[in-house]
A and B are shown apart, each in its own frame.
Chain A
Amino acid sequence: MHCKEMRGLIMTDFIDHELDDAARQAVESHLSACSDCRSVFEASRTLVTQLREMPAVAAPPALWADIRRQWELRRADNRSFSFKDLFFIFHGGRVLNATVVLSLLACMSLAGMYCTGSILPASSATVAGWETRAFNDIPGEQVETAYTDLIGGKNYE
Chain B
Amino acid sequence: MKDMDIQDLSDELIRMAAQGDAQAGEALYAAAHGFVFHVALGMAGNEDDAYEIAQETFIKILENLDQFKFKSSLKTWIYRITVNTALNTRKKNRMLNHRRVAFDETLESLSESPVERHATSASSAQTVQLLLDTLGDDQRACVVLRDMEGLRYEEIAQILRININTVRSRLKRARENLLLQREKYAL
Contacts and interface: CB of A to CB of B under 8 A. Distances in A.
Say whether A associates with B. Answer: yes
Q: Give the one of A11, A54, A55, A60 with max B CB within 10 A.
A: A54
Interface in B83-118: none
Contact of A59 (B34, B62, B153, B171): B34
Contacts, number: 88
Given A51-B128, A52-B148, A55-B125, A60 B51 contact: yes
Given A50-B128, A58-B37, A68-B25, A11 B148 contact: no
A17 to B, nearest CB: 9
**What bracket does the count of chain A residues touching chain B fall in?**
20 to 34
Q: Chain A interface secondary structure, helix, strand, loop or mixed?
A: helix
A150 interface: no
30 contacts: A11-B171, A11-B175, A11-B176, A12-B168, A12-B171, A16-B146, A44-B175, A47-B178, A47-B179, A50-B124, A51-B143, A52-B147, A52-B148, A55-B125, A57-B37, A57-B41, A57-B47, A59-B33, A59-B37, A59-B54, A60-B47, A63-B37, A63-B54, A64-B33, A66-B55, A67-B29, A67-B62, A68-B25, A70-B55, A74-B63
**What bracket does the count of chain B residues touching chain A fall in?**
35 or more
A18 B153 contact: yes
Q: Give the one of B22, B26, B58, B127 with max A CB within 10 A.
A: B58
